[in-house]
Chain A
Amino acid sequence: MAFGPFLLLATLEGLLQAAVLTLTALGLSLVFGVMRVVNVAHGEFYMLGAVVAWWVASMFSLHPAVGFFAALVISPLIVGAIAFASERLILKRLNYDPESTIVATIGMLYIIQQTVLLTYGPDARPVSAPFYYRIQLPWFGYSGYNLFVIAAAIVLLLAVWFVLSRTRLGLIMRATQFDREMAQAFGIPIERVYAFVFAAGAMLAAIAAVLIVPIRQAHYLMGLDPLLLSFIVVILGGLGSLRGTVIAALLIGLSDGIISVFFSPTLAKIISTLLVTLVLVFKPEGLFGAKAR
């Protein structure tokens, strides 16, 4: 294949990767930014989103689009409820202590993963895409649904940005992130904000998973890769920074897409981890993160 089309394919693949990664990493970044909790179980919420999507979609025997859009609404709600419950039952009782919450979320990771293995089983199961449209380019064909995922991710990102920067809800969240005690002094119910943020973070991961599941099937181990990549993105972009997360996700997604097409996927992983190491050494607060106060 000639260089031009090759690059085009690589870019499309990179954009798809970046789109899903941004949504997932944003959830992780939000939870860390506001709650200072490193959520190791984040990838499992992503996996749950996909598994619930399969479950919802397989209940509707109408047009695949009905099942898919039902899943897009129901799956994040269910995952959000589970995250809300685990925040109330576990994280709150640990007083959000950084060390304890890491161990607790590792425990949640295994509990969620193995529960899914016991109930849903070890198979990878597909969800039908809402539409099937294959774009035939002169050199290769590409799935129209992949482009839809990229567009949907952009719309969702704009929505998140709007909520964070233009609404009262966002103001409360930013206030809590900026200074927890001062916010509390001004009458912000910190604990309710925490529970909401934790659920919202999980819901973002679930939405990303529902979008990707028609391309990549639901499987009980699918949460590990996004977790690692999300951590890479969040560290690169600066914890808690929306702009940093988006730019870092684009950087990692595109470089991963392009490098793995032209060279090898292993090299792409080496480069992204190297990047993280360099950032941690020379700019520990991340490319766009605020210096620790």
Chain B
Amino acid sequence: MTDKTSAPKSSVTRRTTLLGMGAATGAGILSSVSPGFVRYSHAQTSAPIKLGFECHRTGIGASYGRWYERVARAAVKIINEEGGINGRPVKLIVEDDGTDPKRGAEVVEKFATQHKVDAVFGTLFSHVVVAAAPRAGELKMPYLVVSEGTHVSSGSLNRYCFQPGITDVRSQVTSVAPWITQNLGKKVTMIFPDYAFGYDHRDNLPPAIKAQGGEVVEMIAVPPTETSFTRYLPRIPADTDVLYHIMVGPAVLTFVTELGQFYGSQRPQIFGFIDSVEAVDLSTPQLSFLDGTYFWEGMPRYAQKDQSEWDKFYRTAVGVNENGASIADPKDIATYAHMYGVWETLFTIKQAMQTAGYNGPQDKAKFIEALEAIETFEEGRDHPQGNKIFNGKNHQVYGHHNISKVEGGRMDVVHRTSIEDGMYEVTADYTKMSL
């Protein structure tokens, strides 16, 4: 043990005092001439607002994770260039969850206890969200996912979970079902991944098709880690009009290739979710089979003829060319149909924190209430995918969806649904839960 009494009472000498004063004056001059400091000077504190990004850097979600991270960095850069949030700069802290549910929950905990972030955002894969969300609730950590899953909108999570940047599967399915039955056929066979995200499709498509006078004749569940699909294809009934596919993970290309070998030119109509070929180059020879098939897209990968100025701005900011590939490397295809959700989520966080006058973790309740008070988002730079309606009760955003046709190695939008097409009766109400 050290003897504290023997230490000098004060180590301040005249020399160090002078030195300290000089340094302080110097710093003062410096800060007054450098614009970066001035800008944050109105805030009570200029300590950064810390946002934790739970990223699928590794594991089966890695293709998405890489692009989600690029989008997050681009959005944070703009937010900081414009003065941050409430006069405070935003600091992005990224943690990899390995697309692993168990690690997802640990990452949320790490954000809360070690990094002490103000909010966590960006989780995509629904099994990770479902595992991590309860921990976020326990830690009273705002958790804004970009996942598409119906976990948030169905009310099965908690008051701290939001999905303000991307629509949920139920809304997507509801909005495209009428188009499928009217344009492609009434007998539908669906192939979906055998976990939470696939179940959202399994549970919501049959009623939506039935409401249009159609029928789902067969449902084929495939484990998400499967690498070979030919063995599942014989289960597709011969009288199927429309094959509805939704696959995820690294084996999506194999799935499409094997489908092509199985059917050749004698195929039923095919409608897929872009997830099946997200981050995959459509001009790959194996994918020529997809010519003439249709995809759901959140935001069109290929720049359209009527491209909005906001799409143009956003595309450049995140480093994507008009074909949906990285400007730096044309072989690096973006997860363009989904990743706008990260952008819009970050600008939503900014909006709500400013409304709430957010100054630190003590204002978390105000921040949550400000999020819940949002009703609409206007199309614009902060929401380049389109205008949206936000439901503060089930914490879910509703918006437009695109149906695109594959032709000549690219996709073009043939139908854009209205927001109302994707609306359904909301029963969940998180606002009744305590904060």
Contact = CB atoms under 8 A, between A and B. Distances in A.
Contacts of B333: 123
B303 interface: no
A265 B224 CA distance: 12
What's the interface size class on A, roughly? 35 or more
Interface residues of B, number: 35
Nearest to A123: B63
Contacts, number: 87
B250 interface: yes
B62 A122 contact: yes
B287 to A, nearest CB: 9
Contacts of B58: 114, 117, 122
Contacts of A121: 62, 66, 332
Interface stretch (A70-78, A215-223, A230-238, A278-286): A215-223
B178 to A, nearest CB: 31
A13 B230 contact: yes
B284 A221 contact: no
Contact of A217 (B63, B66, B233, B253): B253
Contact of A257 (B59, B231, B233, B254): B231
A117 B264 CA distance: 34
Interface in B219-239: 223, 225-228, 230-231, 233-234, 238
Interface string A109-149: 00000100100011110101000101010001111000000
B217 interface: no
B263 interface: yes
A217 B287 CA distance: 13
Contacts of A159: none
B45 interface: no
B234 A216 contact: no
B65 interface: yes
Contacts of B254: 124, 215-217
A104 interface: no
Contacts of A141: 261-264
B231 A122 contact: no
B227 A216 contact: yes
Given A123-B279, A261-B234, A217 B226 contact: no
A273 B60 CA distance: 24
A134 B260 CA distance: 10
A6 B250 contact: no
Contacts of A132: 285
B284 A126 contact: yes
B230 A217 contact: no
B66 A13 contact: no
Contacts of B261: 134, 141-143
Interface in B64-105: 65-66
A225 interface: yes
A6 B234 CA distance: 7
A117 B238 CA distance: 41
B184 interface: no
B257 interface: yes
Interface in A50-66: 64
B63 to A, nearest CB: 5
B263 A225 contact: no
A260 interface: yes
A215 B257 CA distance: 8
Contacts of B285: 64, 128, 132
A134 B62 contact: no
Nearest to A127: B286
Contacts of A134: 261, 264
A140 B262 contact: yes
B251 interface: yes
Given A141-B264, A222-B227, A265-B226, A122 B66 contact: yes
| Most interface-central of B60, B230, B233, B279 (chain A CB within 10 A) | B230
B68 to A, nearest CB: 12
A11 to B, nearest CB: 11
B167 to A, nearest CB: 25
A9 interface: yes
24 contacts: A1-B234, A10-B231, A13-B230, A64-B285, A121-B62, A122-B63, A122-B65, A122-B66, A123-B279, A123-B333, A124-B251, A124-B252, A124-B254, A124-B280, A128-B285, A134-B261, A140-B262, A215-B228, A215-B254, A215-B257, A216-B254, A217-B253, A260-B231, A265-B226
Interface of A: 1, 5-6, 9-10, 13, 17, 64, 114, 117, 121-124, 126, 128, 132, 134, 136, 140-143, 215-217, 219, 221-222, 225, 257, 260-261, 265-266
Closest 4 CB pairs of A and B: A122-B62, A124-B250, A219-B250, A261-B231
Given A122-B62, A128-B286, 13 more contacts: A1-B234, A13-B228, A17-B228, A121-B62, A124-B252, A136-B264, A215-B254, A216-B251, A219-B250, A222-B227, A225-B227, A261-B234, A266-B223
